[in-house]
Structure 1
Amino acid sequence: MKTIGLIGGTSWHSTIEYYRLINDLVGKEIGSQGNPELIIYSVNIELMREQNKEKIYSKYLEVSQKLEHAGAKAIVICANTPHMVYNYVQPKINIPILHIADATGKKAKKKGLNKLGLLGNRPTMTGDFIPNILQVNYDIQTFIPEIKHINVAHNHVSKELTQGHFTSEAKQFFIQQIELLVQKGADGIILGCTELPLLVTQEEVNIPLLATTELHAQMAVDFILS
């Protein structure tokens, strides 16, 4: 099995979920007699909260180079938002960063989906690091909520969901956003936050949901076992 490096910490809850999913999925393929070799580098979440792009880019490059030097054959960033560093870091290292948008795009195409609504925190919804790859690599159009709703979504994610608080108010808000994105033309919804699939389940809506964490973990497993 190939060794991969995991960059986590934003949040550490998400990092645990990646570690669990990757080991579970590998176990389903090879049995319980073994498990993959993973190198985890946990970044202080304060780095992202500072919103200093140059500092963020520099740190993720440093960490990626350390993981490569330690023997990782690929890198998985264990959250959606830090993928903002991809275009800066990838050309400067010699191993691939397995991009969360590629994992999402491949699944969407298999399902025949071409217009996706994107939900998550503010940086994920307003950034171009997911929509650009979906458009260029998979010819998939992306929709996001209205600005006033983006701010509310961000507060629910950053102040509640990532802290383990799941309220009926948040559930109803995101279900409403899914309905509004469908009205814009979405034929699928990206749950671009590790905790969102725990809040809103497929059984509660009538449109395909794409949980990025699960798809990204499967992409990592495919690489490990390739």
Structure 2
Amino acid sequence: MKLLGMIGGTSWHSTIEYYKLINELAGERIGHEQNPPLLIYSQNIQLMREQNKEKINQTYLETARNLERAGAQGILICANTPHMVYDFVQPQINIPILHIAEAIGRSAQEKGLKTLGLLGNRPTMTGSFIPSYLKEHFDIDTVIPDVEYIDISHEFVSKELTQGKFTEEAKKFYKCQMKYLAKKGAEGMIMGCTELPLLIKQEESDFPLISTTQLHAQMAVDFILNV
């Protein structure tokens, strides 16, 4: 099995979910009497909250290099938003970063979805690191909520979901946004915050949900097992 380096901490709730999923999914394939080798570095979530892009880039680069020096053969960033560093970090290390949008694109392609709604925090919804990757590699378009709803979503993510709080108010908000995004052409919804699939399950939605965490974890297991 390949040694995978994981960069977590944004939030630690999502890191736990990634660690749990990777071990469960690997266990289904190699047996639960063993588990994959993993290196985990947990960032302080305050780094992302400062919104200093240069500092974020440099910190993730240093962390990725440290994991590479420690023997990691690939890097998994255990959240959606920190993938903003991909274009900066990937060219400066010698091992692959498993991009979350690759996992999203493969799933959408299998489902025959050509336009996806993107939900998450402000940097994820307004940034280009998921939409541009999907467009370039899969010819998939993305739509996002209007500005005022982006702000509300950001508040739910930063003040509740990443703190482990899952309220009916948040669930109602995101279900309404899904209906709105469907009117804008979305055929499926990217749950672009690691905690969103914990808030709303597929059986609670009228639309196909792209659970980024589950798909990214499966991609990680495929890498570890050389699939």
Across the aligned residues of Structure 1 and Structure 2, the Cα RMSD in angstroms comes to: 0.7
Give the alignment of 1:211-222 within 5 angstroms.
211-222=211-222
Residue in 1 that maps onto 2:146: 146
1:6 alignment partner, SS class? strand
Provide the rounded CA distance (Å) in 1 between the counterparts of 2:220 and 2:77. Answer: 10
Is residue 177 of structure 2 the alignment partner of residue 177 of structure 1?
yes
- Report the equivalent of 1:194: 194
**Counterpart residue type for residue 176 of structure 2:** Q
Consecutive unaligned residues of structure 1, counting only runs of 5 or more, are: none
Query: What is the percentage of aligned positions where both structures have the same residue?
Result: 65
SS in 1 for 2:94: coil
Q: Which residue of 2 aligns with 1:80?
A: 80
- CA offset at residue 201 of structure 1? 1.6
Partner in structure 2 of residue 51 of structure 1: 51
The residue type paired with residue 45 of structure 2 is: I
| 46-55 or 134-143, which deviates more | 46-55
Partner of 2:40, secondary structure, is strand
Partner of 1:116 in structure 2?
A: 116
The runs of 5 or more residues in structure 2 that have no matched partner are none
Amino acid at match of 2:225: L
Which residue in 1 is equivalent to 2:8? 8
Amino acid at match of 1:204: E
Name the aligned partner's letter for residue 136 of structure 1: E
User: Aligned letter for 2:49?
Assistant: R
SS of residue in 2 equivalent to 1:157: helix
1:38 partner amino acid: L
Q: CA deviation at 1:205?
A: 2.0
TM-score, normalisation: structure 2:
0.98
Aligned-partner SS, 2:17: helix
Letter in 2 for 1:190: I
Q: Secondary structure at the match of 1:41?
A: strand
Q: Alignment partner of 1:63: what SS?
A: helix
Kindly provide the amino acid, as one letter, of the partner of residue 50 in structure 1.
Answer: E
Using the size of structure 1 for normalisation, the TM-score is 0.99
Q: Establish whether residue 99 from structure 1 lines up as the match of residue 81 from structure 2.
A: no
SS of residue in 1 equivalent to 2:32: coil
- Counterparts of 1:97 and 1:143, CA distance in 2: 25
1:204-215 counterparts in 2 under 5 A?
A: 204-215=204-215
3-state SS of 1:190 partner: strand
Is the deviation greater in 201-210 or in 9-18? 201-210
> 1:128 Cα shift?
0.3
Name the counterpart of 1:130.
130
Q: Shift of the alpha carbon at 1:187?
A: 0.4
- Partners in 2 of 1:213 and 1:138 — Cα distance? 19
CA distance in structure 2 between the aligned counterparts of 1:212 and 1:172, rounded to whole angstroms: 20
Superimposed CA distance per residue, residues 153-193 of structure 1 (whole angstroms, 9 cap, x where no aligned partner) = 11011101111211111111100000000000000100011
3-state SS in 1 of match to 2:7: strand
Per mean C-alpha deviation after superposition, the further-off stretch among 162-171 and 122-131 is: 162-171
Query: Once the 2 structures are TM-superposed, how far is the Cα of residue 33 of structure 1 from its aligned partner?
Result: 2.0
The alpha carbon displacement at 1:200 in A equals 1.4
Structure-1 separation of matches of 2:198 and 2:54: 33
Distance 2:205 2:55 in 1: 40
Q: What per-residue deviation string (whole Å, max 9, x for no partner) do you get for residues 8-60 of structure 1?
A: 01111111111100000000001022111000011111111111111111010
Structure 2 residue identity aligned to 1:80: N
Question: Could you tell me how far apart the structure 1 residues matched to 2:48 and 2:199 are?
Answer: 24
